[in-house]
Structure 1
């Protein structure tokens, strides 16, 4: 049986090695989950939520150990802390939604004498979460917490790059006293994951990852009628209008582009700036970017860690070289970042101008510390360019005019429209995408609906 290995981007050494579960272990996990879920679905929602809150407490208690562990696994600087501010916000929000009746039966508005009519939400059964490495706690909990509260059992298959995260989830669930078998962290290869999905033994699959990964999930599920939730690639745009607060936009968009070394699903990858602000915006953006400190993520002085793998950094290097070869200007001298080294995950941030949509850096997902900036004449040009993409996760508009932002937002092909902010998930709003970014949704009441099935009752009496 294959081993799953995590190689640390810090120095290329092996950080963790775990054997993939064999077929009998996977079958046992499925049987235990199915047995546990039959009882769990009968547990009152308030009690299910109490278990989830105990899980949250157990996870929060491990934060000091988890922060450096994350840096070692995927390179995020320790000075940025872990993911537990957003993690806690989302868990508490989903618990509150359940308490406020998000899973309560829906009664039609037209009462009919002699009939009792309502739609209840039944749990799906076993939910398989295939989680990514870039935000390994946040992305996983988006589905795990509501799935459990809704009455499902959960199997977690985490990415090899963050294999220790799955173990942390299991520890926290065990410490919370969750019924045995209700949650299981499974170490699986890609082939094993595909076979599990193709077997029809799970009742829902949530996957966060690449477009090609999503296509592989769809192929595996073909013919099983298993519902899928897919959050895939992104090429999220920002538009800075003429009336934007320039300094505020620069500060937040630099952070939105380079936080987590640009390895964010909703990170800013392309920026369109009104011609009246363009020169000043670029100057401010470049100056702020040049102040990043690239280095070992375990060092408190580091503000930009290595990418998770060298091959990811090489893809960005290729995009930059292609753009410059086609006439773009690279504003950041990599020599200012001594840790920047070809062939390694350590990559200096880069700001490109003179770019256009013939360049891959403006059309294909980068998922790294590079951003292209284009000048536009008006809203119409910005809108055309923002929509010129096969992706659609988020788009941000920087303006003082709420009505203009809403009007543009109605025309942008995207899952979320931001005004004067970016790179944030609001647990009260659906997290979803269009086009090649995927299908389905997490968070909000809609997230609960994805993890349950409607069952109608039409009862005649009297």
Structure 2
């Protein structure tokens, strides 16, 4: 019997969409179609692949008026910010299309007389993309467009919370007249997702999600020699040095902590501030946080929507309550946010002080609108605390000295180091993590290396 998935909207707790999961027969047909389509697609000139992909981007952008409210209903992002995700989607897609000729060009070592030697980048075959709900267009496009540009076929398994996003991708490629079978959107159960990976019929899996989800992906791939790229959790720190531009740091770190209700793998979840700047920083941070408007994400006045589910909000509530029992102080009164209601998905932003690394709120991923702030006495103390985590996705340093940022950045165990900005992916740079934040690379020309294999040609033409 084919199962169904219900998408429960965080806006009102009701069923927003319901779809049937793919069955074994449909999955088999999809894998066979992907393999057949890829065999001819990889022989198409790169310029033709670029034309199809560019047309798909255009088609997606043409659906913006429908996509923005859909996002609000599916995962709670306020409509006033919905178009921003599509701008990021376009930026990443266009960039990866533009750099493909250089990234996929053959590498030629120093010439040797009588020989023609070069290394080609060959497509892998079929790539499975397992995408999350929190930034459903941005995270998916990181792999989908470069995978197709590299000559692969793609199967997308989107999160059940944002299942309509997968349908939007499929519609965009349909409007772009992409050859049948090259891109397919499948609604899959966890069991069937694992079965596809274990089948050996996909050659690369790119997953964005939880640490436990990443472990499941690796387990399913055992023995199949399948590449597995993982973007997992984060507990991203920020360090505000005494020489930082205070107003700039506060404005950007409030946004980095609470945008998307804190539901970002690279959201700022812990802040370390030089003790000289600490009182003024906290005062300004709290003042700006109180300006958020928590409410229905379909209302243009709303700047903070609900979390993705009641369960997710309750997890953060419990984390805050536990910290308070351990001596932390909450500087935001939830009653100032009338939409905040215990047991609902609507949760007010919270700023905690008097926190320590003995508290889960400073060590375990929150993935919600809460941040802890600690004073530090030196660069060395800040670095030690920033590295005291099982995660290593991104970190930010707030200073007016470039040399200091580079020096400190070399000591931080993360995939990305920011100076005077945070919570942003530059498509020209590698997006990667260390420790429990994952492995592998998306974006930049290095992202293409994980979607292709090297093939060497050693041709002796003078005998």
TM-score, length-scaled by structure 2 = 0.99
Q: Which aligned pairs between 1:45-194 and structure 2 lie closer than 5 A?
A: 45-82=46-83, 83-99=85-101, 101-108=102-109, 110-194=110-194
Q: Which aligned pairs between 1:189-200 and structure 2 lie closer than 5 A?
A: 189-200=189-200
Q: Which aligned pairs between 1:7-406 and structure 2 lie closer than 5 A?
A: 7-82=8-83, 83-99=85-101, 101-108=102-109, 110-406=110-406
Equivalent pair of 2:330/2:350 in contact (CA under 8 Å): yes
Q: CA deviation at 1:236?
A: 0.2
Q: Give distance in 2, aligned partners of 1:340 and 1:84.
A: 28
Q: Deviations over 1:182-237 (max 9, x none)?
A: 00000101111011111111110000000000001111111111001000000000
Q: Give distance in 2, aligned partners of 1:88 and 1:131.
A: 17
Aligned length: 460
Q: Deviations over 1:366-389 (max 9, x none)?
A: 000000000000100000000000
Q: CA deviation at 1:102?
A: 1.2
Equivalent pair of 2:71/2:82 in contact (CA under 8 Å): no
Secondary structure at the aligned position of 2:453 is classed as: strand
Q: CA deviation at 1:81?
A: 2.5
Equivalent pair of 2:72/2:82 in contact (CA under 8 Å): no
Q: Which aligned pairs between 1:404-423 and structure 2 lie closer than 5 A?
A: 404-423=404-423
Secondary structure at the aligned position of 1:432 is classed as: coil
Q: CA deviation at 1:95?
A: 1.2
Q: CA deviation at 1:5?
A: 1.3
Q: Give distance in 2, aligned partners of 1:92 and 1:212.
A: 32
Query: RMSD of the TM alignment (CA)?
Result: 0.5
The unaligned stretches of length 5 or more in structure 2 are: none
1:5 matched to which residue of 2? Answer: 6
Q: Give distance in 1, aligned partners of 2:401 and 2:3.
A: 56
Q: Give distance in 1, aligned partners of 2:244 and 2:92.
A: 30
Q: Deviations over 1:268-318 (max 9, x none)?
A: 000000001000000000010011110000001100000001111111001
Q: Give distance in 2, aligned partners of 1:179 and 1:162.
A: 25
Q: Give distance in 2, aligned partners of 1:195 and 1:17.
A: 23
Q: Give distance in 1, aligned partners of 2:352 and 2:374.
A: 9
Q: Give distance in 2, aligned partners of 1:156 and 1:96.
A: 23
**4+ aligned runs moved over 2 Å, structure 1:** none
TM-score, length-scaled by structure 1 = 0.99
Q: CA deviation at 1:84?
A: 1.1
The unaligned stretches of length 5 or more in structure 1 are: none
Q: Give distance in 2, aligned partners of 1:20 and 1:94.
A: 31
Q: Give distance in 1, aligned partners of 2:326 and 2:316.
A: 15
Q: Deviations over 1:334-392 (max 9, x none)?
A: 00011101111100000000000000000000000000000000100000000000000
